[in-house]
Structure 1
Amino acid sequence: MSTDEVLLLNGHRGSNGYVQDTNNKVSGSAGRFSSMSDHLSPSETGLNGPNQVMPSDAVWTSEPTGRVRIELDRDGIGARIPISVPGILEKTAKEHPDHPALVSRPGVDGERVTYTYKEYYTEVRTVARAFLKLGLERYHSVCIIGFNSPEWFIADLAAIHAGGFAAGIYTTNSPEACLYCAERSRAQIIIVEDSKQLEKIMEIKSKLPLLKAIIQYDGIPSQKGVLSWRELLQIGRSESDDKLDAVLKTIAINECCTLVFTSGTVGNPKAVMLSHDNLIHDAGVIVSTVGLTPRQDTIVSFLPLSHVAAQVVDIFGSMVAAGTIYFADKNALKGSLVETLTQARPTVFLGVPRVWEKIHEKMMAVARSNGAIKTWIANWAKSQGLAYNMRKMDGVDYQNWGYLLARWLIFSKVKATLGLDRCHMFVTAAAPLSTDIKKYFMSLDMPLMDVFGMSEASGAQTLSRNDLYRLGSVGTSMDSLRLKIHNPDSTGEGEVCMGGRHIFMGYLDEPDKTREAKDEDGWLHSGDLGRIDEDGFLWMTGRIKELIITAGGENIPPVHIEHLILAELPALNNALLVGDTRKYLTVLVTLQTDVDNETGAPLDTLTKATQKWARSIGSKAQTVTEVIQNKDPVIYNEIEEAIKRANKKATSNAQKVQKFRILPHDFSVPTGELGPTLKVKRNVVLKMYADLIEEMYK
């Protein structure tokens, strides 16, 4: 054991400027360990960055200049020495200088541009120098609004290198929502992708007195005073490293480096403060759990980078693992994703439920065109795949001849068609995915692994694994990430709480909300209801704030009941339970309809699958309008029967649904029912359809 290790275990300060006491508390606090002043590291001067830990004994902070203590475990991933974002990028660039880091989306000529890690690191420093020249100050932000690209990554990391905060803004945000984010984060520089996003910023520019520069990274800016990405690089290249290196020395691992805005499904979004250690630790845990290997793994970046999941995996996870990122084009979620997948052939693929649902829909459409023989072979193969993966889920990894033949004959071809033939882990995140769709992918030898986390947990807390998963569970807590159920009831259900080095610092400038979310022992109170079984699997059962309390005082988690109804009738796309302070429960449902590929808004036309289902039960309806105007008796009867079947699974009479209404269109971001992370805005839906709801209670 080294001298430093002995000092650490005995509560002395090591070379990285933090202390570990006998209670596993790690702190840079001279006050807390004032009797050890003789052992203080040079980092106590505050000029030993960026891989220094500065004095703090705080569990949380809401101050932009605040710091928090870091707690290390005695062994495992949680005992790893903290490192800063600039530190990990420099380390990876030195160890793997010529390995491809970023592969851009196709340009106008159809060609992709590749950045090696050495070029990536150089470009980040160039842009950081430019930011400093443009006036970026410590603890102020660079806001970024645009689709995933190398420029997004570079701007994000450059903001951190220059001592500021990186802050993503959802591309779907209105000008007013952009203004809120820019004001809250004290933005001095805003990066936009194109003229569409630039228009939003120009509309609010006069209301941002701190704003010093606007940069457009795609195309040539049409507005006077807006810099192009090329001009930004020219500014950075003309600057020396002196100022940047001086700023880097002041950076500390236990300070904020990134702001992630919550989706704001209720009220204004909160700015989640994430430290260097929060992000790098969570990324490291994910990399270790998933089994990423340096220089071996490829990831496709297409989920919104303003969301924490994409940041921790795409930006930080790839950096920790020395992986390669391929960028999808803007139309990825409108149909072009498979084209990128077949080019990149990712080794890990993370998709939100809507992505897996879209793939499922297209594959089902292809299957319907197959002849009898192909259909028989496909069904046989899928039965082999489902049986194998169900056994594997139970701990039996038995590859019989039927499964091996199906893998060679069918599964390999399906995966190759999707560009997923190299993929060793398929992940679904952000919202629940139906068990039926999960079983479908299991039958194709692509078991989908659930992940659960929050912005406040730097991304991921639990993860299902290829050799450790359960249908309906969100997996087990990853190494060094603590999990507990707060105030469990007799069934073990209670509030899910998380602890560890990945738990956020606080909400920027919102101490009261921070205090509500993070207790004095460092536990994050998620607001989610769940239970942990005897094998350590976490099962989510609803949201505390979404609990419906009926007039009879019954506490009802709506999500569970909604899922029961949707599982009974695939023609339904959404269900929203109503009944708070009411005598009985009702539900609003939407039918599966086509979507406008340009705007993402729902259309009136029922999907082909829904129309086929309608014909099979005797309805000629082709649109939602026809169904509602004619109060189509067969469709209404089928929905009523589905609700009756779901009611049979209710745990009490109070949890049975009495009435329903079909809504005129499906939920979406453009129509306002969904937030940018595709979570339902319950309060918005209840307000939009207040009259319809009142009808059910007359």
Structure 2
Amino acid sequence: VLSCLIWKSLNSHMPTVFFFRSSAQLPGIFCHIGCISLTLDQTLDIFKAFLKSLLIMQSLCPQCCLDPPEEESISITGEVCLAPAEQYWTTESEKGVKLRMAESGPGSEPPLTIYQMFQGTVDKFGDLPALRWKKDGNWTTLTYREYQQQCRIAAKGFLKLGLERFHGVGILGFNSPEWFIADIACIMAGGLATGIYTTNSPEACQYVAHSSKANVVVVENNKQLVKILQVKDQLPYLKAIVQYKGELEKKLPNVYTWAEFMKLGEGVSDAQLDEVVNSQKANECCSLIYTSGTTGNPKGVMLSHDNITWIANAASLAVNVKVAEESVVSYLPLSHVAAQVNDMWISLKFACTTYFAQPDALKGSLAQTLREVRPTSFLGVPRVWEKMQEAMKAIGMFHKPSFFYLHDPSVPWGFMLANNLVFKRVRAALGLDRCRNCFTGAAPITKDTLEYFMSLNIQLYELYGMSESTGPHSISCANNYQIMSCGKVIPGCRTKLDKPDADGNGEVCFWGRHVFMGYLDMPEKTEEALDSEGWLHSGDLGKHDKNGFLYITGRIKELIITGGGENIPPVPIEDALKEEVPIISNAMLVGDKKKFLSMLLTLKCQADENGEPTDELSLLVVEYCRQHGVIASKVSEIVNNKEPAIYKAIQEGVDKVNAKAISNAQRVQKWTLLSRDFSISGGELGPTMKLKRPVVTKMYKEEIDKFYGA
């Protein structure tokens, strides 16, 4: 009765029909019940009455009745797996929080810990491939059962090293099976999994490791090891360092290779580990995501087990992820919430296969990996899609007519559909011929890029969210799509627009079980982000259309307030210019508290083997120059000579953008071409290639001052 009535019926969104037949021992007591429809309250009332009946029946005929459990031991809400909590937020890593549970629907799903979610997948799909990576040129595979075993071995290693409850394990390296295993093993052992960006300086690594009270730091190679060794004296909680690629160049105390680390926990019993695992609560912190720190020190975003397990389920259902059938490529920084949720947690929940790209993925090898893997789902930041677009356009210039017309807006859509064979060739060349869901997120994407891929019959679905919402909050998908929209809110979540203006633009606020616990040890910052009712204030401006689609119109902190007091969101103007002048790589609008707007511009160029921008113009720009009667192959040739034809073309693009401005204050009056494109290593771009405006403003202060005669 307990199993059937409670766990099968109440823990389900499907109606359950029960049929009973008369008992041979007790004729007449049970009779056939047809199809009945009951509310939850009615079901509970009947259940309680039925328990009382069982007690009476047991006294009459004990041999045909089950022993009923005591009523107070029955838990339907799942509260037994939650830590005591009085409010929705905390800044202390060891405290739990209230969950934003809904009464019904996706928001009412029972809370789970990471291990419970993992175990559920292993029980059903233990022999399916979980992780695949290249070793000596061949793909190597871990099944889900092997994956869990490796995580348990690593968790024992962390316990042996003295990992304390709610202390961090920093992970500093490129995506790999060891990254995943270290993350999950840390959580199993009761720690806080903490990703550290590989582009961080030693000082930035020290900040994150110290803030998270890291007992262990796991590094990829000697390059990353050196960073930690430089600052280890400033890490009072640090007990050990583990290097997961290659041999140690020098044997040092408390520094281990991955192989050595995986043997450390051999003396730790399964019972010891299980005791730690079973003590974990779904509303406790298990992971820290550090913000990129564009406007100050990075903030440690505290995520609970429930934050992660709930969003992994809810977001996947929203886009119709197919259980045990999906494959993804992991290449974006796992320190970022988008990559972590997409590559690690959704894959774990739905038994997807994760393929690891090469460390130089963003420097050129990603294309080959995509062609080999042919993923069914792919997440790219806008810059990745833009690079693909540039490459395809460059190919089109030298392969007419079979490719060139694909990005020609004059070609009718019906004619394009008739050339389906060409579409298939293009998608196969990109490695996206099996891809059902192509996502873009982490930064705004231009309409030009969206339309370009639509012309190839590749729909890019926008994701909108933030670290503080455990990744996605609003998702665009096949059934909910409007170009330039972020789609609709994930079922089980809520959105409200705070203080909307006359046009309906207000601050986008989130509610749901994906909303973070708080910023680690930062009560003031937490109070800024979460209001008294528990709503998360995103800092983004947005509006809804009549059909409920969300459009992000700007960011409050990025708004340029001119000397005349007009608020101007920079992104639409920047995107408009890049669309008018396709040789522009990056554009940044400036003019806060100034009399007029100006813009910093860079040209598209080729990257070197390390992904650094070079002085060599991209093929697209070279061809553009040729069409304008200019023979040039280097950025410096254009900038140093202020090449008249190219500068004139850029000014014409600026004029076209200005002609569409809704006010004089939104017109760009001055601009300059910089001699070097923006990059991650240069500091202008964040790890997901998002523009770091305060950094750029400081770096190019001299150029900006020239605009205004300072």
| TM-score (ref. length: structure 1) | 0.89
Q: Is the 8 A contact 1:98 1:118 kept in 2?
A: yes
The AA in structure 2 aligned to 1:605 is E
User: Relative to 1, partners in 2 of residues 1:84 and 1:251: Cα closer, same or farther, differing over 3 Å?
Assistant: same
**C-alpha distance after superposition, 1:628-660 (max 9, x if no partner):** 322222222222221111111111111111111
Report the 3-state secondary structure (helix = DSSP H, G, I; strand = E; otherwise coil) of the residue aligned with 2:215.
strand
Q: Is 2:674 the counterpart of 1:674?
A: no
**Residue by residue, what CA displacement relative to the aligned partner does 1:139-163 show, whole Å, maximum 9, x if unpaired?**
1011001111111001000000001
Query: 1:237-282 deviations in whole A, cap 9, x for unaligned?
Result: 3421122112122211001100000011111110000001111111
Alignment of 1:221-232 (within 5 A): 221-223=248-250, 224-225=252-253, 226-232=255-261
Shift in alpha-carbon separation, 1:513–1:380, aligned structure 2, 3 A = closer
Alpha carbons 1:278, 1:502 under 8 Å: kept? yes
Structure 1 position 469, deviation (Å): 1.2
For structure 1, the residue ranges without an aligned partner over 5 or more in a row are: 13-37, 389-401
In structure 1, the residue matched to 2:280 is 251
User: How far did 1:93 drift?
Assistant: 0.6
- The CA deviation at 1:470 is 1.5
2:657 alignment partner in structure 1 = 646
Asked which structure has the greater CA Rg, the reply is 2
Alignment of 1:108-119 (within 5 A): 109-119=136-146
Residue from 358, 361, 365 that aligns with 2:394: 365
Partners of 1:153 and 1:513 lie apart in 2 by 30
| Counterparts of 1:595 and 1:380, CA distance in 2 | 27
d(CA) in 1 for partners of 2:339, 2:681: 22
Q: Which residue pairs with 1:486 in the alignment?
A: 498
- The match for 2:616 is 605
2:59 aligns to what? Answer: none
Report how far residue 111 of structure 1 moved: 2.2
How do residues 209-228 of structure 1 correspond to structure 2 at under 5 angstroms? 209-223=236-250, 224-225=252-253, 226-228=255-257
Amino acid in the other structure paired with 1:77: P
Where 1:453 maps in the other structure, the secondary structure is strand
Partner of 1:397: none
Identity of aligned residues (%): 47
Match of 1:205 in 2: 232
How far residue 419 of structure 1 moved from its aligned partner, in angstroms, is 2.2
Offset at residue 592 of structure 1 (A): 1.2
Q: How does 1:196-595 map to 2 (within 5 A)?
A: 196-223=223-250, 224-225=252-253, 226-372=255-401, 374-375=402-403, 383=411, 387=413, 405-407=418-420, 409-595=421-607
Query: How far apart in 2 are the matches of 1:528 and 1:221?
Result: 45
Q: Deviations over 1:435-472 (max 9, x none)?
A: 22211211111111111110000010111112321121
Are the structure 2 counterparts of residues 378 and 456 from structure 1 closer, same or farther at C-alpha, using a change threshold of 3 Å? closer
Counterpart in the other structure of 2:121: 92
Aligned residue in 2 for 1:24: none
Amino acid across the alignment from 1:425: N
> 1:549 is aligned with what amino acid?
I
Which residue number corresponds to residue 178 of structure 1? 205
Q: Deviations over 1:538-572 (max 9, x none)?
A: 11111101111111111111112211222211111
Aligned partners of 2:509 and 2:537 also within 8 Å? yes
Distance 2:457 2:565 in 1: 46
Q: Distance in 2 between the 1:511 and 1:40 partners? A: 38
- Structure 1 residues 393-449: Cα deviation after superposition (integer angstroms, max 9, x where no partner): xxxxxxxxx566422x21222222322221111111111222222112111111111
Is this contact kept in 2: 1:221–1:228, CA < 8 A?
A: yes
* 8 A contact 1:383–1:443 mirrored in 2: no
- Structure 2 spans left out of the alignment, 5+ residues: 11-37, 45-70
Tell me, what secondary structure is at the counterpart of 2:445?
A: coil
Structure-2 residue corresponding to 1:193: 220
Q: Which of the numbers 102, 109, 132 marks the counterpart of 1:73?
A: 102
Preserved CA contact (<8 Å) 1:463 1:475:
yes
3-state DSSP of counterpart to 1:496: strand
How far does residue 621 in structure 1 lie from its aligned partner after superposition?
Answer: 3.5
Amino acid at match of 1:54: A
> For 1:379 and 1:145, how far apart are their aligned partners in 2?
40
Q: Deviation per CA, 1:12-65, whole angstroms, max 9, x where unpaired?
A: 9xxxxxxxxxxxxxxxxxxxxxxxxx9587999xxx99x811111211111111
1:438 and 1:573 mapped to 2: Cα distance? Answer: 16
Q: Deviations over 1:88-141 (max 9, x none)?
A: 00111111110111112x12x212221111111111111111100100010101
Q: Distance in 2 between matches of 1:349 and 1:377?
A: 25
Deviation at 1:518, TM superposition (A): 0.9
Count of aligned pairs: 649
Matched-pair contact (CA < 8 Å) for 1:295–1:322:
yes
More displaced 10-residue stretch of structure 1: 145-154 or 337-346: 337-346
1:285 touches 1:479 (CA, 8 Å); kept in 2? Answer: yes
1:8 Cα deviation from its structure 2 partner: 8.1
Distance 1:381 1:645 in 2: 19
TM-score normalised by length of structure 2: 0.88
Q: SS of the residue aligned with 1:187?
A: coil
Partner AA of 1:673 in structure 2: E
Distance change (3 Å), C-alpha of 1:669 and 1:10:
farther
Offset at residue 620 of structure 1 (A): 3.1
